[in-house]
Structure 1
Amino acid sequence: MKKVILLVVLLSVSFVNSQAFIGSGDNKFQVGANFQDNGSGLNLSYDFGIGQNISVGFSSTYLLGVDDALKNNANDDLNAGFDNRFDIRARFNANLGNVVNIDENFDIYPGLSLGLKNLGGHLGMRYFFTEGFGIYTELNTPFAKYKTEKLTPAEKLHNQFTVNVGASFNL
């Protein structure tokens, strides 16, 4: 009986064990909040592992809350339409969780993204509490904006430093 209980406990522990990134074939879906100057919204992302430490995917953000009147100049309205509130990006990540080896449930992933507004980079971190559920945060910044002349306040949305925070799921 003791051997049966020990076997059940060992099998249970092995099912609870989670990894943040397992390599080729890994699927991650993330949903969270996006925060930036003059707006906040919803961020969705999906990553698919194509190598031991490499994943590709997409990320999309829609700003739900946009400050209509800018705080620093109440006469300058933001006037952000759908095209200014929405952004979608193709992304490439270098998943370095097993390289830095902090915890097998922790992944850190720097990456590049090519979106509707710019070419940018991000630094993300995620931690899984169980096999299927974890939390994430990403810091995003543009490297090259498509519009080189002065941006209107609405065009600055998604063309600035942003932060995403939310839940991550293994699929």
Structure 2
Amino acid sequence: MRKIIALLFLGLSVINTNAQQAFKGKGDVKVNVGANIQDGGSGIQGSVDFGLGENFSYGFVATYLLGVSEFSGFYNGGTTEYHNVKPDFEDRFDAKFRINANIGNVFDIDEKLDIYPGLSLGLKNFGGHVGGRYFFTDGFGVFTELGFPIAKYSDNDEMFHHLNNQFTFSLGASFNL
């Protein structure tokens, strides 16, 4: 019981430690690693953002779907019957270049919180995202993001084309490098 109480106090002291600003501007580097949740599958997401100015950053994000629903039946009204078809690597993977407007300080909110809407240009589409990071300490925090496609590159209606062309929700750990 003493060990549990000691761990609890240690955890609370880490949370209450004063943190630096969530986004510092030019030269700032943030790394996010977390879960990606969407219709038809779930997986992992990793991203890195580099500060260019007081409220502007650019970066890269990659996702890979681990748990993906199999497809059985007649796809899109066709005549070919499919049985337990799983997506290939290229159907599960997506990578994007992105830009962010880091606006936490514009709204004069807690300096530990970074809010960032942005745009992304990826392998599958042109899209947008809205995210937030909260730092408990100078180096560690949590993040969440909502992503959405704005324009798909084609009207291709292949069986797993929708996997990287839909609304996504991500959450996980954020690190300040």
Interval of TM-score (by shorter of Structure 1 and Structure 2): 0.7 to 0.9
Q: Where do 1:1-171 residues align within 5 Å?
A: 16-69=18-71, 79-149=86-156, 151-171=157-177
Query: Unmatched 5+ residue regions in structure 1?
Result: 1-14
- Answer 1 or 2: which has greater strand percent: 2
Shift of 1:152: 2.6
Would the aligned equivalents of 2:69 and 2:86 in 1 still touch at CA under 8 Å? no
CA distance in 2, matches of 1:109, 1:158: 21
Counterpart of 1:8 in structure 2 is: none
Contact 1:34 1:43 in 2 (8 A): yes
How many pairs align?
155
TM superposition score normalised by structure 2: 0.82
Within 2, Cα distance between the matches of 1:78 and 1:162? 22
- Could you say if the C-alpha distance between residues 16 and 69 of structure 1 is closer, same or farther in structure 2, counting changes exceeding 3 Å? same
1:61-110 CA distance string (max 9 Å, x none): 0001101137xx89675531000100000000000010112200001100
* Structure 1 length-normalised TM: 0.85
Which consecutive aligned stretches of 4+ in structure 1 deviate over 4 angstroms post-superposition? Answer: 73-78
AA aligned to 1:81 is D
Identity of aligned residues (%): 56
The answer on whether the counterparts of 1:18 and 1:129 sit within 8 Å (CA) in structure 2 is no
Aligned-pair CA distance for 1:19 = 1.2
- My pick for the range that moved more, 74-83 or 153-162, is 74-83
Distance in 1 of aligned mates of 2:158 and 2:122: 18
